[in-house]
Structure 1
């Protein structure tokens, strides 16, 4: 390469332009993984945060400290919606979540902890850390709310998939940037001597070109005697389509959504399949998580004896049932005598009414037994 190699290596951008360094390390696009996880996990978190936690004694809802903690203010720093959204994010992202109840009745999500497992005794959690504070005491399993997501598939999937996608995404960006570079050739008069003076002139000339191209939308290239700059026509270069990059990001988000059980139509905002997608999401993604939370809360908050007597905590999450759209079906359920009106209210996530008439079965004449229907007059 001689003198040209020395000149080009003084300008790293020009060296990259001429592809002198053909093997370079591909930078991993960490934000690609972060973006997919944020979109999908927060989507689930927002739906769970809308859940209504009802402390029940038989058929009567109780408004006590647990109602306030679960539905209004779990701790001094978070609202219930923020708390449950953070709860779900940590559960899915880290595959487990631990919540402890402090002496001043605050529910706190642990940022870090150590779990000691035992075969016949309750597991113990020690070194529980929330923000910058580490509890000196340890917590037994029956003193905390602890859930695992049990999605080993997600962890294995992310480890390999995101590395591959990051390499591909990085390469696509590099190709796009390289293909859209402004390229040119510098000609040198053969009568010019290649001494240090002329070499420095060439370097200064190249530096001015790059500064001019970067700083101005319209750049005027100065001419030097004995040096000639010619730009390569952009028509000879095909750039990487931005649509290809968008499709790749969409594919990453879709793959993560499929693993988490979220219909891709909901994530991508495809309204044509909205009704079917929301039903599938509620049934296969939202409801299982709500059931996990409900079972864990009942096991840790409600004593076994009280639970068997009818005390419990019901969690009503997002439902695909719409009262207005299902008004005709509601009428049929009640009119056929299959359900009371209070039972129908519960099916749609509403609270029971205190009106005793709503606990009575109602039936229309059309649904009466044929043997009970009398026709005509008898003498």
Structure 2
């Protein structure tokens, strides 16, 4: 009667395996917060890289002054980074943290604070305590008039992020889970019903399945022996896996476009669209890049130039990325000079070049022959 007992025992175990007492099982969608971080990193770093190309020049009566500040701001702000890395990090912190604090150490190094505590005052300058750079915290207190401190109003960005990315992240996570489920390789393994399903046989079956699974998962090409009494069948769902991946990328691109628009970046620049690229680039430089550079320039003028020197003509001037090129605008340059609207040194400044110490380039000329204004009168009479 032992074989009957085995049959009854197997039949007895079946209901427990398929018990459906009204319960519905599901899996919660895993929230993928990296989507928000990715969109922010792409957009903020784009602005930071463009601002990092800026050169801050000290001008005194239209002549550039090369001193220690010029070296610190444009070559080596401190012992650990170059000027481009420094300004990229400063811009990133300004946008991401809504503020950035730059201090001058006792060794005359410009350092960007990682954390600090600002104490606001009504009459006297605000102070900054617990200023930390990397793992070092300064014991001294810094006054507002001895630091470079900028703020960036991104309250709109923060409010939008909190609401938008909850929806976008949930949607994107669901699409990832669905795509993984649709492209999952599922299989069934069975044994001959004549074999006894005791712990020993089940253990052998499980060990064989594990070996087979690892062979399929780790190797591009795998051979598995076919055993008598053992069946392995794959359930392949050849659905629209490629389509689901394409849809996920569209959702991600749309989220990045929204963040870019909030930060003032035309989406055409971020996603590489060639349509209206030049127009988008000009708009970005004029309305996003240049205003941030002006923030830095205004703060440098306020903290590093005295009022008396500023009124005498000494000031900081920033030269950043430009769309216009001298060679591409040669005809326009010729008309500006030939019409007498600008002299040649002024044109050089407009294209980011330094003035040349030559009195001839400071003169206003007219006509195609580039004659001086005084000499042109005789030619007109002839």
Q: TM-score range by the shorter chain?
A: 0.7 to 0.9
Aligned mates of 2:262, 2:282 — CA distance in 1: 17
**1:51 pairs with one of 32, 49, 54:** 54
Aligned mates of 1:262, 1:319 — CA distance in 2: 16
**2:119 pairs with one of 116, 121, 124:** 116
**Residue 282 (str. 1) matches residue 291 (str. 2):** no
**1:138 pairs with one of 131, 136, 141:** 141
Deviation track 1:184-219 (CA, whole Å, cap 9, x = no partner) reads 334565666665555545544543443343234444
RMSD: 3.1
Kept in 2: contact 1:40–1:256 (CA 8 A): yes
Aligned mates of 2:12, 2:73 — CA distance in 1: 74
Deviation track 1:123-157 (CA, whole Å, cap 9, x = no partner) reads 11100000111111111111110011111112222
Kept in 2: contact 1:68–1:74 (CA 8 A): yes
Distance 1:207 1:47, change over 3 A: same
Q: Which residue of 1 aligns with 2:210?
A: 207
Distance 1:21 1:113, change over 3 A: farther
Q: Which residue of 1 aligns with 2:66?
A: 63
Aligned mates of 2:15, 2:302 — CA distance in 1: 73
Deviation track 1:214-238 (CA, whole Å, cap 9, x = no partner) reads 2344445555665533322444x44
Kept in 2: contact 1:97–1:110 (CA 8 A): yes
Gaps spanning 5+ residues in structure 1: where? 9-19
Kept in 2: contact 1:169–1:248 (CA 8 A): yes
SS at match of 1:53: strand
Q: Which residue of 2 aligns with 1:356?
A: 359
Deviation track 1:320-352 (CA, whole Å, cap 9, x = no partner) reads 221111111111112112222222222222222
**1:239 pairs with one of 238, 241, 258:** 241
Kept in 2: contact 1:172–1:240 (CA 8 A): no
After the TM superposition, which parts of structure 1 deviate over 6 Å for at least 4 consecutive aligned residues?
A: 4-8, 365-368, 372-377
Distance 1:114 1:106, change over 3 A: same
Gaps spanning 5+ residues in structure 2: where? 1-10
Kept in 1: contact 2:338–2:368 (CA 8 A): no
Kept in 1: contact 2:172–2:248 (CA 8 A): yes
Shift of residue 376, structure 1, vs aligned partner: 9.8
Q: Which residue of 2 aligns with 1:31?
A: 34
Kept in 2: contact 1:261–1:281 (CA 8 A): yes
**Residue 307 (str. 1) matches residue 307 (str. 2):** no
Aligned mates of 1:220, 1:273 — CA distance in 2: 55
Q: Map 1:161-310 onto structure 2 (within 5 A).
A: 161-187=164-190, 196=199, 199-200=202-203, 203-204=206-207, 206-220=209-223, 227-235=230-238, 237-239=239-241, 241=243, 242-310=245-313
Aligned mates of 1:171, 1:270 — CA distance in 2: 28
How many residue pairs end up in the alignment?
A: 362
Aligned mates of 2:16, 2:125 — CA distance in 1: 70
Kept in 2: contact 1:7–1:199 (CA 8 A): no
Q: Which residue of 2 aligns with 1:99?
A: 102
SS at match of 1:230: strand
Q: Which residue of 2 aligns with 1:326?
A: 329
Shift of residue 269, structure 1, vs aligned partner: 2.3
Distance 1:48 1:365, change over 3 A: closer
Q: Report the TM-score, using the length of structure 2 for normalisation.
A: 0.84
Q: Which residue of 2 aligns with 1:73?
A: 76
> Which stretch shows the higher mean deviation, 303-312 or 181-190?
181-190
Shift of residue 69, structure 1, vs aligned partner: 0.7
> Which stretch shows the higher mean deviation, 197-206 or 343-352?
197-206
